[in-house]
Amino acid sequence: MEEKKLDLNSIIGFVLIFGILLFWFYQNQPTPEEIEAQKAQIEQQQEAEEAVEAEEETPVLETQSVNLQDSTALANYRNAIGEFGFTPATEGTTTLENDVLNLQISNKGGQITEALLKNFVTYDSVPVYLIKDGNAVFDLSFTTRNNRVLNTKDLYFEPSLSRDGDIQILSMKAKVAPQQFLEYRYEMKPGEYLVGFTVRSQGLDGVFNDSRPINLNWRLKGIRHNKSIQYGNRYTRLTYNHEDGKISKLSETSDDEETETDIKWLSYRQHFFSSILTTNTPFETAELTSKNLVEEESKEARFTKEYSTVAPLQLEGGELSYAMNWYYGPTDIDVLEKYKDLGLVESIPYGWGIFGWINRHIFT
């Protein structure tokens, strides 16, 4: 059998093909400028991803850090807050708890730093928290007559826990003198998700600069409770009720913001659960913001949306006096209908038009 051999023409053909390929690769290789542009694009993409991750992990609650063991730092802090340095700077939290709800209220800021729904767990059997690890802040920003700009989230409050029958009462006071203070008062009843909340001042008419606004700032990052964060995010929405009963909403699919008037309650809904703030004295104006934090399906993402409300509060006779309520509980018609006088059941998404009517009156 004759052995096959490469003839000269075949060898020349292979050499030509190889040469053409080398020439093609040489001609089409990126220029130094294109290589630098590609590197810059990759770095920019990495920076964007890192920024998203950083934003995801950044807590909403960021306060002025004070080393209470450092006498110099403590003196500087008291000098910065002026008259409110009268209140002892003491770290700690106070618990308000009934059979359905556990709240932790911090001396720093006088605000709720944990809200646990005791009878619920997430899809992976983790306890349901609506507030935890700095995902929420409630803050009043105001100016004093000596032009100090203060935030209550940076002030220390003095707690006093008492009872009136079955009602637990927690008074948190940021004092400038024994009988002059800013008070947050919490009242918890047995078996209730609704907690009474009063913001009032006494003897501060000479402290508040009434020519500058006192702004209420409530922010919250909605904690993920669904296995599919995209699915849960579809039903995560900021809803609010006007004094005339009209219900309005920000977008549930994209970033949104509105400046509204005469607001009676605000609901930061997180699909199956809601965080709601009501006020007996409607907010005359409020800047509302909803920011979508979900770009795609993810097992690691912790938050769905970030909500924000900024509302100026009005002084009466130089003092603050607002009767409010906090609701931390399920987005459930049977529960929310208990608070008919507040109209909280209207925060539930029944659907549009005739379908909403059917869902509400036939299937619930």
Instruction: Sort 135 into a burial class: Cβ within 10 Å, 0-12 / 13-18 / 19+.
Output: buried
Domains of the chain: 61-361 (2.70.98.90)
Instruction: Give the per-residue pLDDT at 38.
Output: 73
Q: How confident is the model at residue 68 (pLDDT cuts 50, 70, 90)?
A: confident
Instruction: Give, in order, the Cα–Cα distances in Å from 86 to each of 89, 110, 177, 178.
Output: 9, 15, 6, 9
Q: How far apart are CA 109 and CA 127, in angstroms?
A: 25
52 in Cβ contact with 41 (< 8 Å): no
345 in Cβ contact with 254 (< 8 Å): no
DSSP 3-state assignment of 325?
Answer: strand
267-301: pLDDT as tens digits: 999 999 999 999 999 999 999 999 999 989 998 89
Instruction: Give the per-residue pLDDT at 362.
Output: 41
As given in the structure block, the two tokens for residue 312 are 């100026």
Instruction: Give the per-residue pLDDT at 1.
Output: 47
Q: What is the percentage of the chain residues whose pLDDT exceeds 70?
A: 85
Instruction: Give, in order, the Cα–Cα distances in Å from 72 to each of 4, 62, 149, 157, 221.
Output: 94, 22, 21, 21, 35
348-357: pLDDT as tens digits: 985 554 444 3
Which of 316, 225, 335 is closest to 348 using CA atoms?
A: 335
Q: How far apart are CA 197 and CA 174, in angstroms?
A: 16
Count of beta carbons in the 10 Å neighbourhood of residue 168: 21
Instruction: Mark 180-193 as b/e (b = at least 16 C-beta within 10 Å).
Output: bbbbbbbbbeeebb
Instruction: Give the per-residue pLDDT at 358.
Output: 43
Residue, of 140 and 15, whose pLDDT is higher: 140
Look up the pTM and report it: 0.82
112-148: pLDDT as tens digits: 999 999 999 999 999 999 999 999 999 999 999 999 9
242 in Cβ contact with 263 (< 8 Å): yes
Q: How far apart are CA 329 and CA 264, in angstroms?
A: 19
